[in-house]
Amino acid sequence: MKGAPIVFRLYRLVAEAVRPFVPFFLLERTRRNKEDRTRLGERRGEPSRSRPAGPVVWVHGASVGECLSLLPLVDEIASRDISVVVTSGTVTSANILAHRLPEGATHQYIPLDVPQYAQQFLDHWRPELIIFAESELWPNILHEAVRRKISMVLANARLSDRSFRRWKNLPVAAKFLFSRFDLCLAQSQQDAERLVRLGASRVSVTGNLKFDSAPPPASPVLVSGIEALIGARPVWLAASTHQGEEAIIVETHRALTEAFPDLLTMIAPRHPERGREIANLVARSGLSASQRSLGLLPDSATDIYIADTIGEMGLFYRVAPLVFLGGSLVPHGGQNPIEPAKLGAALVHGPYVHNFEEVYAMIDSAGGSIIVHNSTELTETVGGLLLDTAALRDTARRANESVLSIGGALQRTMAEIAPYLLKMHFGS
């Protein structure tokens, strides 16, 4: 890394030094279901697919949320007869993308940030444009891309207060990294100002691509089938819950059954592998649970239905008129509220929503979501909305209108990257 700060030279040396131990690291992650055993080679930069003929764009999102926000962008690029290789770093994101990528796009796991792995990946795919999402910065990959003179864009870029403060303490390193990008497309004016202060050379505000994401799909047959099983029962969904929240949901369910004896509560954990753990929690409370991962459906005896599968949130958002968004009653930072809002659900959330602070503030102010702080408030809010169907519909309408009113990021992003795409077809 000629001219690189000493911290990155050290980083590169460490990355090269640990390469012999990577197989053991990957196997350990496999045992914890953090890696796909059949595709470990991809994490070492070894491709599992052939490179298509013609121009290729590499699009990367770290995990599920980032990848879903990039899907409309991938669709637009692929529609221009440009092949797209989409990378991510989690098994869950790979499973979801397997069903949602358009024709002309393929998924690979991003290689670990080891120089040799980055070289192998780039030598195989030879992308003419790289688009990274939000604040995903891998020094060795960026260095190898710059060395090959590949154009790079940081799309949907955001910097939290915490990240900005951390980078401010490393000004030389920050400038070295952020200046690698030919273009940074920020979610907000605040994000843009922070990127400029950290050394980004060309910055535009394009908005948040998450607002333009299509809601997750669902089979109409499955939706109708679940709705028929639910029938006239009052139902609500606790979505993307984290450890510590399910106990609150179970307590809330028990309290609500005094007013709604046939209540059906659905829990969709953020990490589906926790389904058995949640089922045990429900059983210890004296309630009846059914796990979707075991092929069970919600029957009349089911108190709590555990939606512990991957890629079916579109189904459960469509059958639940009221959604509590998890990761918000514990200090995780909240989950994305845009999908259930687009599908017509009234929203409830806890106080810890700093990962999506602006979005929640907007929906809250529009009256499309309600904040709760504990089980008592959750019980009162969910019970009140289930009892007052007019208020439930009004809250859902406000949530839907608020998220639909702030689109346009996709068009602005495409306008910014259009020159790079045109260059692929017609040359410099």
Q: What pLDDT does 230 receive? A: 97
31 part of a folded domain: yes
pLDDT tens column, 76-134: 999 999 999 999 999 999 999 998 999 999 999 999 999 999 999 999 999 999 999 99
Q: What pLDDT does 425 receive? A: 74
376 part of a folded domain: yes
Quick one: 157 and 277 in the same domain? Answer: no
CA pair distance 210, 157, nearest whole angstrom: 12
Residue 118: Cβ within 10 Å count? 24
pTM of the predicted protein model = 0.80
Quick one: 422 and 367 in the same domain? Answer: no
Amino acid symbol at 11: Y
Quick one: 143 and 270 in the same domain? Answer: no
Q: Once rounded to an integer, what is the mean pLDDT over residues 234-238?
A: 98
CA pair distance 399, 340, nearest whole angstrom: 9
**Exposed / middle / buried, residue 323 (Cβ in 10 Å: 0-12, 13-18, 19+):** buried
CATH number for the domain including 10?
A: 3.40.50.11720
CA pair distance 336, 275, nearest whole angstrom: 21
Mean pLDDT of the chain: 95
Quick one: 414 and 400 in the same domain? Answer: no
Angle at 91 between CA 85 and CA 92, to 5 degrees: 100
Quick one: 86 and 196 in the same domain? Answer: yes
Quick one: 199 and 274 in the same domain? Answer: no
**Lowest-pLDDT range of 206-220, 253-267, 292-306:** 206-220
377 part of a folded domain: yes
Quick one: 259 and 202 in the same domain? Answer: no
Provide the 8-state DSSP code for 158. Answer: -
Quick one: 381 and 419 in the same domain? Answer: no
Q: What end-to-end distance do the CA atoms of the chain give, in Å? A: 28
213 part of a folded domain: no
Q: Is the pLDDT of residue 225 over 80?
A: yes
Quick one: 86 and 68 in the same domain? Answer: yes
CA pair distance 12, 6, nearest whole angstrom: 10
Quick one: 312 and 226 in the same domain? Answer: yes
230 part of a folded domain: yes
Quick one: 419 and 338 in the same domain? Answer: no
360 part of a folded domain: yes
Residue 9: Cβ within 10 Å count? 12
Q: What pLDDT does 61 receive? A: 95
Q: Is the pLDDT of residue 2 over 70?
A: no
CA pair distance 241, 330, nearest whole angstrom: 9
Q: Once rounded to an integer, what is the mean pLDDT over residues 345-361?
A: 93
Task: List the domain range (segments joined by +) for residue 175.
Answer: 6-207+408-426
pLDDT tens column, 356-415: 888 899 999 999 999 999 999 999 999 999 999 999 999 999 999 999 888 899 999 999
Positive or negative torsion for Cα 162, 168, 173, 174: positive
pLDDT category of residue 1 using cuts at 50, 70 and 90: low
Instruction: Give catalytic residue positions.
Output: 66
Quick one: 356 and 415 in the same domain? Answer: no
Beta bridge partners of 105: 84
215 part of a folded domain: no
Q: What pLDDT does 135 receive? A: 82
36 part of a folded domain: yes
Give the residue with greater pLDDT, 5 vs 383: 383
Q: What pLDDT does 81 receive? A: 93
Number of domains in the chain: 2
Positive or negative torsion for Cα 25, 31, 36, 41: positive
Q: What pLDDT does 407 receive? A: 86
CATH number for the domain including 381?
A: 3.40.50.2000
Q: What pLDDT does 15 receive? A: 96
pLDDT tens column, 37-80: 999 999 999 999 999 999 999 999 998 889 989 999 999 999 99
Of the candidates 253, 236, 229, which has an alpha carbon nearest to the alpha carbon of residue 386?
A: 236
pLDDT tens column, 13-35: 999 999 999 999 999 999 998 99
Edge to edge, what strands does the sheet with 151-157 contain?
105-109, 83-88, 56-60, 129-133, 151-157, 183-186, 203-205
3-state SS assignment for residue 394: helix
Q: What pLDDT does 390 receive? A: 98
pLDDT category of residue 161 using cuts at 50, 70 and 90: confident
CA pair distance 333, 366, nearest whole angstrom: 21
Amino acid symbol at 81: D
